[in-house]
A and B are shown apart, each in its own frame.
Chain A
């Protein structure tokens, strides 16, 4: 198989020079360009998703006070005398009886409760479906799978192109929802029926419809990607690249593709039922017409839990690779790492009920789901211990990718341990639907996935763009992010223990939460600092793209195949011959060679070539 593709692809390399601007940069079938498209989509959406979060934090820290910049001034509220330009603007709109978007969502700059519900719904939706998935799966999957397996491209390059552009259409549909009458979806990213299944309960009509349609389209895009990834991993590996010689990041992406392939149809059909309930008068989820609200939760979480692993497993894979490279040591327990990811993927199908302990599902089922959840903690623990084992005895280099990967491990441990609290059903009675859950998910998805994503971005940026991200700026960005991330999310555990419900608009409405308000203020200030710290990476990214130090082929002295290609690799990746693989991916500090790395595709003298291979 590999030989056939090799000869076919040589032909492709020759025709490449004739491609024009559109087929190179827009409707490209080159996996590396598609990866960059996913990256830019994800980074742009991340700015939006982060902005939504900061608006939310403003409301929680300073409930029902005018937003900075666009709200009216404090003096205006007290004296009714317009002082700033904004005061005048709002006063004019008031006098005209204007009904523009701002007046409806945040009169005088004070956001309404309905708008706040939209904020957290769209923050989660955008971060999960349009930031983490496009970057971790779309970008790194596309970029790394062919390069690390020694292929010239994905198995289906055209399908790959459609996958991105269908994803882009989905993003446009999602963004359109912000501008329709009634506002965007406001039922949480989990869209629990019947709140989401009947527009009368929220007053949101087309916002929620577009939300459903957009995610259905996105699911189609991800399905195309998943099929492509699976086929590529199975069929397009270079000679010698056995499954057990694949880098762990490829294993993680392979597993994620299988999860997506199996989970997304469930979500798509559930969303179709939801749309029918909303638009065609059916009652799948409405008890008034004989439907069942819990059906939605079962369908949603049957998708939703594997989805959580879709968000974290690629980051686990990248972290494993990066820890090994910068510890100059083989990954500790490679096989255990693979089997742990495979068992997480299997067990991920039988734990969805742990999101539903308080839902009214039969409590006996709660017991079963608690035990399955306890079991899934075991492979996560194995991975953590193996990461520590990888560090043990290493010669650790503290580069920016390494710092981010280390942060991933530490933050993932906190997120995993706090997960145990909510898996224990009696404890979950109290902390369910509180900020404890919010803290937990952010330790896993921000502390985990996003630090993993930063690690991957700093690590593979030289290969993607041929230039190195600035290390000093990278370290400043890392330390600021690490500090303010923890300042933002550690106190949320305390709020949760205090009983602070999630998804409330104004905590000051509750007597028992008023004493916790200073913590909310602290979180808000930290969150704004966390947001500001991201300006460093935005600047670093844009500056290094054009002015950064030129990258050599293998700036990190790493072993995997992609570092044998040029930086950035040309169309077709590998010149005339594709690489041949002789050994496992993590042969660092091997006694066979004097330098401390030994690339997978370097041929040693026959006498020693067998050592370190399978």
Chain B
């Protein structure tokens, strides 16, 4: 079943996948054991003439054993996965670039802080549905929404985070392979939820610089022109 997983291109994605493998195999073995026990019992203890069922109300030792083993395994699972969870969701590492993505029915608004690296200034660069990032760089993504709850889902990055109106939530990733990948919305957000789709473009370093040079100044000058017009009229 596991080769159905989409390609992974993020630094922490491989760890998620291997945790998935470990749990998958442990639960699979558990299922096979339980199912096998069940099938064996059903065959061995099927009703036959002259055969009587064992009269027993249980076995305290057995019951304590399986309760203890299950408790240890379950808590072990929990403790095993705790570090990865805090790595992905709690401890955002120092970032190289940052971008703000705002969900709105039914698009992603992508905002770059521009050359001054500060949001809310006039050199901010806004795009629709396209997130451009350099490869092998830590990207901080600030997620928010304008209307309802959306969920920023990048399958290849193993990244998912709901976006809430009125809150800014930090997420991060580091992509390891250039390419063009899909960013669907994963939380029902209205009749256009299906098909609410953006793209993550992972560039090599040179390509990213080229993209910045090509996109940012032009956009900034346009904005400046608009502002000048606005002050004239």
Contact = CB atoms under 8 A, between A and B. Distances in A.
Contacts of A396: 41-42, 45-47
A499 interface: yes
A358 interface: yes
A192 interface: yes
Contacts of B19: 424, 426-427
B227 to A, nearest CB: 28
A384 B34 contact: yes
A505 B192 CA distance: 9
Contacts of A506: 194-195
A511 interface: yes
Contacts of A334: 57-58
Contacts of B182: 510-512
Nearest to A499: B155
Interface string A379-421: 0011011101101111111100000001001100110011011
B71 A375 contact: yes
B27 interface: yes
Interface in B64-96: 66-67, 70-71, 74-75, 77-78, 81-82, 84-86, 88-90
Contacts of A591: 55
B211 interface: no
A296 B74 CA distance: 30
Contacts of B194: 113, 116, 503-506, 509
A201 interface: yes
A112 interface: yes
A413 B31 CA distance: 7
Interface in A176-223: 186-188, 192, 194-195, 201-203
Contacts of A292: 166
A434 B155 CA distance: 11
A181 to B, nearest CB: 15
Contacts of B6: 498-499, 512
Interface residues of B, number: 85
B193 A417 contact: no
Contacts of A378: 67, 70-71, 74
A364 B51 CA distance: 57
A332 B57 contact: yes
Interface string B140-163: 000000011101010110111111
B16 interface: yes
B195 A195 contact: no
A336 B58 contact: yes
A430 interface: yes
A287 interface: yes
Interface string B26-47: 0100110011011001100111
B66 A385 contact: yes
Contact of B169 (A186, A360, A498, A504): A360
Question: Secondary structure at chain B's binding surface: helix, strand, loop or mixed?
Answer: mixed
Contact of A288 (B159, B165, B181, B185): B165
A426 to B, nearest CB: 4
Nearest to B65: A385
A201 B105 CA distance: 8
A158 B110 CA distance: 61
A360 B161 contact: yes
B27 to A, nearest CB: 4
Contacts of A202: 190-191
Nearest to B21: A427
Interface stretch (A41-49, A251-259, A365-373, A533-541): A365-373
Contact of A420 (B23, B59, B161, B197): B23
A288 B189 CA distance: 17
A410 B81 CA distance: 27
Interface stretch (A65-73, A323-331, A451-459): A323-331
A417 B27 contact: yes
Given A113-B192, A327-B45, 13 more contacts: A113-B191, A293-B149, A293-B166, A336-B58, A358-B161, A360-B163, A375-B74, A389-B59, A393-B53, A420-B23, A429-B16, A430-B16, A504-B194
Report the 7 A-B pairs with minimum CB-CB distance, sorted nearest first: A287-B166, A393-B54, A505-B194, A333-B58, A499-B155, A363-B89, A374-B74
Interface of B: 1-2, 4-6, 15-16, 19-20, 23-24, 27, 30-31, 34-35, 37-38, 41-42, 45-48, 51-59, 62-63, 66-67, 70-71, 74-75, 77-78, 81-82, 84-86, 88-90, 105, 147-149, 151, 153, 155-156, 158-167, 169, 181-182, 184-195, 197
